[in-house]
Amino acid sequence: MRHLIVDERNNILLVTLNRPEVHNAICLGMLHELSDVLEKYWFDKKVRALIITGSGEKAFCAGADLKERISMSEDEVRVFIRTIRDTFTKIEDIPKPVICAMNGVAFGGGLELALACDLRIAAKGVLMGLTETSLAIIPGAGGTQRLPRIVGISKAKELIYLAKRITAEEAMVIGLVNEVVERERLLDRAFEIAREIAKKGPIAISQAKYAINRGYEVDIKSGLEIETKAYEVLIPTKDRLEGLKAFMEKREPNYKGE
């Protein structure tokens, strides 16, 4: 792969955006590669969590590659917007937890990528923002929809209307990131969280993700029905019985995703 580094470490997949010379800006080729990686590991039982980060020390992802964008026709821009939107939705939908380790700045599409992940960890002092309105456009890869669901509609409007850049510490206060850590601890901490999640029942994690994501979009009664259906999937699994047996025997469970 040209634009990504993919490293499978036991049951955790590390995906690194690898265009440091342009601050890991998102080009069409990167999106196709990322989509292919997600498809490849979608049903892979060995991989129980993903981490997405950026190469280099300056940027997680500075957004879309504007040098590529300026050469596009209007129809090509439409294709790019659809591709970036659909690729980020795959991140949101993949039945495995995805942790974003924000090692540097995350602007525009870079922050939208982070928003599609389940958890976000940022290095101290990292700047981020949906800055598209300063270029006379709007976030087109899910930012107008995911940001208000995470930080609330009023704060999202403030950040988007003003194309505001905020620090990791400010982002944590408003719930945009889950943790802020020292830069040298970032990947270690991401792997700590991923390993802890990987100990849990993988089918349970995937169903929890499904129930939370889908239930958040509907009224509480419909959400409870979604939760019940998700629970029903778990009842006949071997993992559920293994969890009960391990609890009774006071030992660590050995979940196999079955």
In SS3 terms, the chain reads as CCCEEEEEECCEEEEEECCHHHCCCECHHHHHHHHHHHHHHCCCCCCCEEEEEECCCCEEECCECHHHHHCCCHHHHHHHHHHHHHHHHHHHHCCCCEEEEECCEEECHHHHHHHHCCEEEEECCCEEECCHHHHCCCCCCCHHHHHHHHHCHHHHHHHHHCCCCEEHHHHHHCCCCCEEECHHHHHHHHHHHHHHHHCCCHHHHHHHHHHHHHHCCCCHHHHHHHHHHHHHHHCCCHHHHHHHHHHHHCCCCCCCCC
pLDDT for the residue numbered 66: 79
Average pLDDT of span 175-203: 96
Select which of 64, 114, 156, 230 is catalytic: 64
Out of 15-19, 107-111, 115-119, 248-252, least confident range:
248-252
For residue 171, indicate whether it is catalytic.
no
202-249 and 4-198 share a CATH fold: no
For residue 64, indicate whether it is catalytic.
yes
Query: What's the CA gap between 31 and 84, in Å, rounded?
Result: 6
Domain ranges of the chain: 4-198, 202-249
**Confidence band of 57 (pLDDT split at 50, 70, 90):** confident
For residue 184, indicate whether it is catalytic.
no
**Confidence band of 176 (pLDDT split at 50, 70, 90):** very high
pLDDT for the residue numbered 171: 97
**pLDDT (tens digit, 9 = 90+) per residue, 9-21?**
989 999 999 999 9
Q: Answer yes or no: is pLDDT of 64 > 90.
A: no
**Confidence band of 257 (pLDDT split at 50, 70, 90):** confident
Q: Answer yes or no: is pLDDT of 59 > 80.
A: yes
Average pLDDT, the chain: 94
Write down the CATH superfamily of domain 202-249.
Lyase 2-enoyl-coa Hydratase, Chain  A, domain 2 (1.10.12.10)
Select which of 54, 109, 140, 243 is catalytic: 109
pLDDT for the residue numbered 194: 97
Average pLDDT of span 42-57: 94
Question: Is residue 181 a contact partner of residue 124, using CB atoms and an 8 Å limit?
Answer: yes
Q: What is the pTM of this model?
A: 0.93
pLDDT for the residue numbered 219: 93
For residue 63, indicate whether it is catalytic.
no
Q: Domain 4-198, what architecture?
A: Alpha-Beta Complex (3.90)
Q: Tell which residue, 198, 15, 173, 29, has the closest CA to residue 103.
A: 15
pLDDT for the residue numbered 71: 85
Q: Answer yes or no: is pLDDT of 1 > 80.
A: no
Please name the residues in contact with 118: beta carbons below 8 A apart, sequence gap of 6 or more: 97, 98, 99, 209
Select which of 108, 110, 112, 122 is catalytic: 112
- Paired with 99 in beta bridges are 51, 119
Select which of 116, 132, 194, 198 is catalytic: 132
Cα–Cα distance list, 20 to 60, 66, 132, 205 (Å)? 9, 15, 21, 33
